[in-house]
Amino acid sequence: MDRFDLITKLAAVEALEGDGSTDGEREAAARARARLEARLEADVPVPRAFAEELEAGHHLRAAESRLGEPAAPEPPDRTELRLRIAACLAGRLAAVDLSRWAAAWVDAAVLPDLPHADPGSVAPEVLLVLASGPPTEAVCRAMVEFLDTGATDTAAGWRRWLEALAELA
């Protein structure tokens, strides 16, 4: 589990601690929060604003599947990729950790094979580029622009993305 995943879990546990329906649930969440904070502090202090951003912002992945079977991993969507890249640009997530996270997803998930005109082709492309190695600030900024491509402008977004990559090479 990487640092981002620990922070994601911390945000979920903190929400449960504050909104738990029973005293036991809130106490268990408080103990889980203490364990997660200890793990994070062993590495680097928890960036408080980042944990709050996660809690307020994006969806949290469910660790369990329906019927008790392991869930088939679904690659991250544009929203999660934007959040992680923004965290990297802001210095809250190291580029090398972002790349390792992406590589783990590329190894674990089946990425769709979609034509360039399909809006669903953007997120897998960004994930593959992230998995290739730690991105520079310029590449991160180009990725954010590519991720912001509208569904009706996907072909033009790909053209701009490939042009940006050629300029950065």
The pLDDT tens digits of the residues spanning 108-166 come to 777 777 888 888 899 999 999 999 999 999 999 999 999 999 888 999 999 999 999 89
Q: What are the tokens at 27?
A: 């106490």
Tokens linked to 55: 């809690």
Q: Which pLDDT band, with edges at 50, 70 and 90, does 76 fall under?
A: confident
- Name the pTM for this structure: 0.59
Span 83-92, pLDDT tens digits:
999 999 999 8
Identify the band that residue 62 occupies on the pLDDT scale cut at 50, 70 and 90: very low
pLDDT more than 70, % of the chain: 78
Q: What whole-number distance in Å separates Cα of residue 100 and Cα of residue 17?
A: 30
* Whole-number Å distance between alpha carbons of 78 and 3: 20
